[in-house]
Amino acid sequence: MSRARDRRYGAAGRQACAALLAAGVSCLLGHAAAAAVPAARPGVVAVTVTTDGGRRRLQPGRAARWRDMRPGPRTVWIDDARRYQTVVGFGAAWTDSAAYLLNEVARPSARERALRELFTRRDGGIGLSFMRVPMGASDLARTRYSYDDRPPGEADPTLAHFSIAHDRRDIIPLIRAALRLNPGMRLVATPWSPPGWMKTSGSMIGGSLRPQYAGAFAAYLVKFLLAYRRAGIPVQYLTLQNEPRYLPSDYPGMRMSALEQRRLLVHDVLPALSAAHLATRVLLYDHNWDHPQYPDTVLASPVLAASPRVAGIAWHGYGGTPGVQSLLAAKYPRLGQYETELSGGTWVHDQVRSDFETIIEVLRNQGRSYVKWSLALDQHLGPHDGGCGTCTPLVTVDTRTGAVRRDVEYATLGQFSRFIRPGAQRVYSSDAAGIESVAFINPDGTHALVAFNDTARRNTFQIEWGARGLRYALPAYSGATFTWSGTARGSSALPARADQSAGSLAQSGGRDRAADLYSWGVVTQEHRGARGGYALERAVDGDWALYPALDFGAGAHRVRVRVACGRRACGTLEFRLGSPRGRLIARVPIGSTGGWQRFATVTARAHGARGEHNLYVIWRGAPGGRLATLLSFRF
């Protein structure tokens, strides 16, 4: 780091950069493309807003100022001392369709402007920094192709005909251009299908990998990585198969079981990466949250669980809940959790609400990345060859005029990617009634808080940071990013008498007693009721959730909980101080409420709590049975 950069960013920036480098992420504090949005004046908080329906997109909101104030009934509380995962970046995919449209259809001036807006933070850009590269055709492609296609009945086990010539026309030139704008950009490469001759179907459609071509498949992956490196494009991450549990009928895909992925990694892929002296690291799985057993099965191999070449687990968001990321992170703390695909689409009723809720929850559950699907599509949501004809992009290229239009997902993703930079570390933030939040400290010490009003009406809330706070109002189903500089002054705690959202938990845990991941700890689940937010569900006996630094004042005499239960009896909620076995201050028996999404208020006596404490909520009940879903509580 140069002396000029050292003076500019100071000790906080140097420490954050060192942590980032240790995590394997580049740190370019002084580069223009990585420069932060100009920080607000000391004491002043800048606000950027996107409203419901995208009527306002990444627009400046009313600036605020920190003031001395006491926490109110609806408070988002930030604790810089509680730190979690480091972010690698945000992005989308360099699909064949996106690259073709931007490189060949967009007007040159429109293309250059779009690349600046996508990959820098200058002039309103959103600073994308973690991009996905399909290895061969996906459904968002003009044709079906691999890098070693052969005539029917012909194989090429030595890969003598391997070539990335297809990518040299559009994909490689655009990635190079993006790297010039943002040299810190990271890439994850993913095949939808290897060449058809490697598969039982004899085609890129359907089938699985023939066992005799396991070595050829590993060599195919390595040849791609080496060819891209020679083209000036290093690839930092690799997954073995896009959505290995799904076998599409009309676009490239391949089924790959967890046991098969484990064998391929141990015996073929990792040795091939080592032999080629590649620094590329592997992300496991690359499919939906609803089957966390898949990566857990892969990681049953001690070789993979301990390998430095395995960076983490890749997730898609089309099924399940992001809460499972936290369960896997707790079991495998060395590994990162990466969200690598979730498309917007015409099927999404409210894209603004969906994006804010999902990205916040991914990040609150240890997510180090968030990747949308195609970077660009045309006005007809194409071109595509089978698969998704209703997926939506970040930008639209008009095939009639060559113009490039920023779409609503450019704004929703930009509310995070513009302000939360690679190397940012998540810090604790609570949710307030109807407000969801996530907070970060950037490598240069600046702060970013994203808050979303998940209710159908205007919502006024308070942000508490140290001994200071501010009040702000957000329209219905609208989000804002708050950015500021400085260091928290003094300390504060959240009053226990205020409503505590269940989604505010700092940590969860339970008894590791079964193969089912859902029994390792509670997971967050979206609540579609009037108050919005996230509930904690799938708890079993012994599971717990931690809520830090609650201030009980002179004492608490009653506790009120909002719970749901679809069984006759759903056990008891215990509230304890300091640890899951600490002092018991309340016990709340829970009966049926008529359904798992039908919430009711239950009250019970409380005693023995004074002053500030870490609070643990523990579920108790019959072993193995699902217990109450918790939405909120208040003393």
pLDDT digits (tens, 9 = 90+) for 247-265: 999 999 999 999 999 999 9
Using 50, 70 and 90 to split pLDDT, how confident is the model at 492? Answer: confident
List the CATH number of the domain containing 49.
2.60.40.1180
List the CATH number of the domain containing 131.
3.20.20.80
Using 50, 70 and 90 to split pLDDT, how confident is the model at 27? Answer: very low
Q: At what angle do helices 408-417 and 351-364 cross, to 10 degrees?
A: 30
- Peptide bond preceding 383 in cis form (omega within 30 of 0): yes
In the chain, the percentage of residues whose pLDDT exceeds 70 is: 91
Whole-number pLDDT of residue 511: 64
Q: Averaged over 392-415, what is the pLDDT?
A: 98
The yes-or-no verdict on residue 32 having pLDDT over 70 is no
The answer, as to whether pTM is greater than 0.95, is no
Residues 511 and 434 in one domain: no
The yes-or-no verdict on residue 512 having pLDDT over 70 is no
Residues 250 and 280 in one domain: yes
Helices assigned H by DSSP within 278-407: 293-298, 302-306, 323-331, 351-364
Domain that holds residue 68: 41-86+425-492
Please indicate, yes or no, if residue 16 is contained in any of the structural domains: no
Residues 82 and 161 in one domain: no
Q: Averaged over 540-545, what is the pLDDT?
A: 92
Number of domains in the chain: 3
Residues 368 and 463 in one domain: no
Whole-number pLDDT of residue 20: 42
Instruction: Provide the sign of the torsion angle of the four alpha carbons 297, 299, 303, 309, taken in this order.
Output: positive
pLDDT digits (tens, 9 = 90+) for 434-485: 999 999 999 999 999 999 999 999 999 999 999 999 999 999 999 999 999 9
Using 50, 70 and 90 to split pLDDT, how confident is the model at 49? Answer: very high
pLDDT digits (tens, 9 = 90+) for 89-102: 999 999 999 999 99
Separation between Cα atoms, residue 600 and residue 242, nearest integer Å: 42
The yes-or-no verdict on residue 22 having pLDDT over 90 is no
Residues 247 and 390 in one domain: yes
Q: How far apart are the first and last CA of the chain?
A: 51
Whole-number pLDDT of residue 519: 53
By three-state DSSP, how is residue 585 classified? strand
Using 50, 70 and 90 to split pLDDT, how confident is the model at 491? Answer: confident
Residues 456 and 408 in one domain: no
Using 50, 70 and 90 to split pLDDT, how confident is the model at 505? Answer: very high
Please indicate, yes or no, if residue 473 is contained in any of the structural domains: yes
Per-residue exposure over 310-341, b if at least 16 CB sit within 10 Å of its own CB, e if not: bbbbbbbbeebbbbbbbbbbbbbeebbbbbbb
Whole-number pLDDT of residue 521: 66
Q: Averaged over 369-391, what is the pLDDT?
A: 97
Element (H, E) at 454: none
Which of 222-226, 323-327, 340-344 shows the lowest mean pLDDT across its residues?
Answer: 323-327
Whole-number pLDDT of residue 494: 87
Return the CA Rg of the chain. 25
Please indicate, yes or no, if residue 33 is contained in any of the structural domains: no
Residues 193 and 62 in one domain: no
Q: Averaged over 370-397, what is the pLDDT?
A: 97
By three-state DSSP, how is residue 634 classified? strand
Q: Which of 449, 473, 492 is the last residue of a domain?
A: 492
Closest CA to 25 of 371, 445, 368: 368
Please indicate, yes or no, if residue 315 is contained in any of the structural domains: yes
Residues 508 and 570 in one domain: yes
Which of 24-38, 139-153, 197-211, 272-286 shows the lowest mean pLDDT across its residues?
Answer: 24-38
Whole-number pLDDT of residue 6: 35
Which of 149-153, 190-194, 341-345, 488-492 shows the lowest mean pLDDT across its residues?
Answer: 488-492
Whole-number pLDDT of residue 30: 35
Q: Which of 469, 492, 515 is the last residue of a domain?
A: 492
Whole-number pLDDT of residue 432: 92
Please indicate, yes or no, if residue 600 is contained in any of the structural domains: yes
Residues 80 and 96 in one domain: no
Which of 129-138, 171-180, 533-542 shows the lowest mean pLDDT across its residues?
Answer: 533-542
Looking at every residue in the chain, the average pLDDT score rounds to 91
Whole-number pLDDT of residue 238: 98
Please indicate, yes or no, if residue 28 is contained in any of the structural domains: no
In the chain, the percentage of residues whose pLDDT exceeds 90 is: 83
Q: Averaged over 325-349, what is the pLDDT?
A: 96
Residues 413 and 430 in one domain: no
Token code pair at residue 168: 């040299």
Residues 110 and 122 in one domain: yes
pLDDT digits (tens, 9 = 90+) for 566-582: 988 899 999 999 999 99
Q: Averaged over 21-26, what is the pLDDT?
A: 42
Element (H, E) at 100: helix 96-100
Contact 618, 593 (CB under 8 A): no
Please indicate, yes or no, if residue 34 is contained in any of the structural domains: no
Separation between Cα atoms, residue 311 and residue 265, nearest integer Å: 13
Residues 200 and 74 in one domain: no
Please indicate, yes or no, if residue 3 is contained in any of the structural domains: no
The yes-or-no verdict on residue 601 having pLDDT over 90 is yes
Using 50, 70 and 90 to split pLDDT, how confident is the model at 35? Answer: very low
The residue count for the chain: 635
Q: Which of 443, 475, 492 is the last residue of a domain?
A: 492
The yes-or-no verdict on residue 183 having pLDDT over 90 is yes
Which of 36-40, 157-161, 376-380 shows the lowest mean pLDDT across its residues?
Answer: 36-40
